[in-house]
Structure 1
Amino acid sequence: MYFVYQFQQAEDPKGLTEALWRHKIAHQIVLNKAHNELWIMDPQQLPTVKSLFELWQQDPILVQKAHFEPVATSLHSGERGLLSQVRSAPVTSIVLVLTVLVALLTQLGGDLNSVGYFSISPLEIRNGQIYFFTLSQVVDKHEYWRFFSPALLHFSVLHIVFNTLWIWDIGGKLERILGSFVWSLGVVIIAVLSNVLQYYISGYPLFGGLSGVVYGLIGFAWLLPLLDKHWPTLISQQLMAFFMVWLAVGYTPLPEMLGLGGIANTAHTIGLLSGITLAVVYGLLTRLIARNTHPQ
């Protein structure tokens, strides 16, 4: 993150921050010893930020009507839509491509031999029975990727469509705000915790999906605006209520009755709790970094 400006106590950054979000400039307003500070993610957007800032200083109302061509697209004026979103959220795009490739390779879970490469435990099929390993045995085999790879497994079209759409939407927005490194670290933490605890509690390795990560991102994006009023609202209260209801439904026989199969409820719950915890940690760390970078 890059420091831009420290507001005076009498200055309200609300109008400026609304203009920045309208121009798709990822930023944060951090409270540092009674003063709000403006930080941005991408220094290449600094010219646009400065233009908006100068206009805001002249007239906070006029800045709402301002429009500047984003620097990120000025080099490729014909680049729009999907390609532009892929460039701005590359890790999100990579995760989705890998998810689709794994779905094709495993035939949506229909090819158990292929599934065994990505499940949390190697699978051995002998005499019609599935044999698998404990977590400690997986560690002994040094197959550490298995703690993450079940997130790439999906077992139905509805399953993969639901998860990839939310990863593309909420995950892409968070990557643009947080930056690719921080976003990737959060996704890995959420996926590993969800997968490991799901296996530890259920004792069965045939599960998978990005649902735990989806719930983690939802929890993260929902809580941060409550911790920091300047953080953008990505998850409405109604949408959060829907996810909570669906989480509760997952603990009932209803999904199987509807033909959706069993749901890895532990992974969903752990994912949600992990995302909420990461939101708290992230909020505290960004404030601490801001204070240490610009002490009063």
Structure 2
Amino acid sequence: MNFVYQFKETEDPKGLSEALWHHKVAHQIVFKDDHYELWILDLSQLAAVEQLMTIWKDDPTLLQQTHNSVETDSTYKEQWASKLKQAPVTATLLLLTLLVAFITQLGSEIKIVGYFSISPFDIRNGHIYFYDLTEVFSKGEYWRFFTPALLHFSVLHIVFNTLWVWEIGAKLERLLGSLLWCVGVVIIAVLSNIFQYQISGYPLFGGLSGVVYGLIGFAWLLPILSNYWPTIISKQLMIFFIIWLAIGYTPFPEMLGLGSIANTAHTIGLMSGLVLGFIYWLATKHRRS
């Protein structure tokens, strides 16, 4: 991160921060030594930041007009091209998820699902036959530890997961960088899938929900540990996801027609995200000292 500006006591950084996020500028507002500071991730965006700061200092209300003019002048194609460029791994993950949903017909093509499930399986005479993790590992089919995250079994399931991965994941990718973000997602997905399989003993599960909970845990914890991190997950949103996690352990989702929920994957995903957040904080806190 690169230092840009120290706010005066009378200046409220909230409006400027909102404008920076609107213009896809990855940044952090840090409270240090009784004042706020602005730090940005990419120095190539400094000119745009300085332009917005000039507008903000003259009249903060003009920033909203700037939002509107940008949205009016920019084409839909240009806006999405910019978003994809800033979060390429997030976009790739979602495209893969949609592709798998299409070729498996949301789980209807059971033979194709078998290529992505944590264990290959066979259904004979109404019985399902599959392997344990030791056999999967010995066969060298390592991709299976990750690919269940790409499987989805309903429209509601995939819409919920992809929207949250894009909303939270794209922001985290801009802050962490694509490589670290990718490694974190793989770790969360693999741990969620392995524990779900070991505890349920059944290979037909899937979804990005474990990753979603992992991203939520990571994004929620970092601002608590470090003032340099922006708040991505509000207290209210965190409460909502914890309540939904608890509801998943009841019969209520099945009563709504949502089917059985991979609760272990959700819980392990959340715990993994929290642990990774703590590890990341430990590994990077010396940079702020």
TM-score range normalised by the length of the shorter chain = 0.7 to 0.9
Q: Using the alignment, how far apart are the partners of 1:22 and 1:218 within structure 2?
A: 23
Q: Using the alignment, how far apart are the partners of 2:281 and 2:31 within structure 1?
A: 11
Q: What residue number does 1:212 align with? A: 210
Contact 1:28 1:40 in 2 (8 A): yes
How far apart are 1:47 and its partner, in Å? 2.9
Q: What residue number does 2:42 align with? A: 42
Contact 1:216 1:276 in 2 (8 A): yes
Gap change, CA 1:125 and 1:62, over 3 Å in 2: same
Q: What residue number does 1:201 align with? A: 199
Unpaired stretches in structure 2, ≥5 consecutive residues? none
Aligned to 1:116, the other structure's residue is in SS state: helix
How far apart are 1:240 and its partner, in Å? 1.3
Q: What residue number does 2:20 align with? A: 23
- Give me the identity figure in percent: 58
Q: Using the alignment, how far apart are the partners of 1:195 and 1:38 within structure 2?
A: 39
* Superimposed CA distance per residue, residues 142-182 of structure 1 (whole angstroms, 9 cap, x where no aligned partner): 11111110000001111111111111111122212222112
The equivalences for 1:107-256 within 5 A come to 107-256=105-254
Q: Using the alignment, how far apart are the partners of 1:13 and 1:108 within structure 2?
A: 54
Aligned to 2:44, the other structure's residue is in SS state: helix
Calculate the aligned-residue CA RMSD, in Å.
Answer: 3.1
TM-score (norm 2): 0.83
Q: What residue number does 2:3 align with? A: 4
How far apart are 1:11 and its partner, in Å? 6.7
Higher deviation after alignment, 193-202 or 221-230? 221-230
Contact 1:52 1:66 in 2 (8 A): no
In the alignment of these two chains, the number of paired residues is 280
Q: Using the alignment, how far apart are the partners of 1:226 and 1:93 within structure 2?
A: 28
Q: What residue number does 1:294 align with? A: none
Contact 1:3 1:37 in 2 (8 A): no
Unpaired stretches in structure 1, ≥5 consecutive residues? 292-296
Aligned to 1:117, the other structure's residue is in SS state: helix
* 1:98 aligned residue (93, 96, 99): 96
* Superimposed CA distance per residue, residues 18-65 of structure 1 (whole angstroms, 9 cap, x where no aligned partner): 625522321246789999876532232133345667x69xxx954856
Contact 1:118 1:149 in 2 (8 A): yes
Give the partner amino acid of 2:142.
Answer: Y
How far apart are 1:255 and its partner, in Å? 1.1
